[in-house]
Amino acid sequence: MTVRTENAEEYLEAIFKLQHSGGTVTVKRLAAELGLTSPSVSEMVHRLRAAGLVERRGRRGRGRGIRLTEAGLAEGAALVRRHRLSERFLVDYLDMPWDVVHEEACKLEHALSPEVEARLAEQLGNPLTCPHGHAIPGEDGSLPDERLQALTDLRPGDAAVIGCIAEEEGDLLRYLASLGLLPDTPIAVESVAPFNGPLLVRVGDAQYALGREVTDRIMVRH
């Protein structure tokens, strides 16, 4: 049962995230998430199952698909926790820009022991979210399920607070940072142009016109 490799960890993390984003975890979805082919994923899922980290429910009904076992859940949560703590570390301690930390954290997450993870969390002040606003699982693997909605789905006049950005890296993040559209920022929709046009939003004293590509990725709460 040599399934504590870095590769296996990637799978567990991906399954954990898919499982928590709701919906059924299938081989196909996993393959898409990981950028691999279905047979490769199918094979690894068998290994993970043999190792007792994953189980398959019948293929019909609600609870179908791939599920993490108790052990797998703990592993997956720990990986996500380490990933997001790493991002916080890179931003808070090393002053790195938030649009590059995801990739760096992908490597770091596999290099943190529970001990280092715990001390890092403490040094960082036990943060609750990553720089993009995603919740950091607790040491017990718990993850609050906030119900966020895309900014796109607000109506004119609605006010909200940015919860997280559904994008881990790239130009979009740089753009948002340049506008000050960061997690926990209050934002209000002033108008919505028809035919899938831009949203006119207010942030503090500023007003911006944001396209759907952007507003789809800004997740807000009330």
- How far apart are CB 73 and a copy of itself at their closest, in Å? 23
**Where does this chain bind DNA (CB under 7 A)?**
2-3, 5, 7-8, 10, 26-28, 34-40, 42-47, 56, 59-60, 65
Pick 5 or 126: Cβ nearer DNA: 5
Q: Which does 107 bind (CB under 5 to 8 A by kind): a copy of itself, DNA, none?
A: a copy of itself
d(CA 219, CA 152): 9
Question: Which of the choices a copy of itself, DNA, none does residue 207 contact, using the CB cut-off of 5 to 8 A by kind?
Answer: none
Q: Of a copy of itself, DNA, none, which one does residue 96 interact with (CB within 5 to 8 Å by kind)?
A: a copy of itself
Which residues, including other chains, have CB under 8 Å from residue 71's CB and lie 6 or more apart?
Answer: 52, 53
Given the complex with DNA, which of 65 and 163 has the nearer CB atom? 65
> Would you tell me which residues interact with a copy of itself (CB under 8 A)?
90, 93-96, 100, 104, 107-108, 110-113, 115-116, 119-120, 123
Minimum CB separation of residue 93 from a copy of itself in Å reads: 6
Chosen from DNA, a copy of itself, none, partner binding at 3 (C-beta under 5 to 8 Å by type): DNA
Compute the least distance from the CB of residue 172 to DNA, in Å: 26
| Cβ pair 88, 105 in contact under 8 A | no
Q: Quick check: 169 and 132 in contact, CB under 8 A?
A: no
Residue 72 is encoded by which pair of tokens? 């797998």
Residue 8 binds which entry of a copy of itself, DNA, none, with Cβ cut-offs from 5 to 8 Å by kind?
DNA
d(CA 54, CA 48): 6
Contact (Cβ atoms closer than 8 angstroms) between residue 156 and residue 182 = no
Q: Distance between CA atoms of 157 and 190, rounded to whole angstroms?
A: 5
Q: Dig out the tokens for 12 from the structure.
A: 């567990």
56 versus 110: smaller Cβ distance to a copy of itself: 110
Residues 6+ apart with CB under 8 A from 57: 63, 64, 65, 67
Query: Residue 67, CB half-sphere, CA atoms under 13 Å: how many?
Result: 11
Nearer to a copy of itself, 38 or 93 (CB): 93
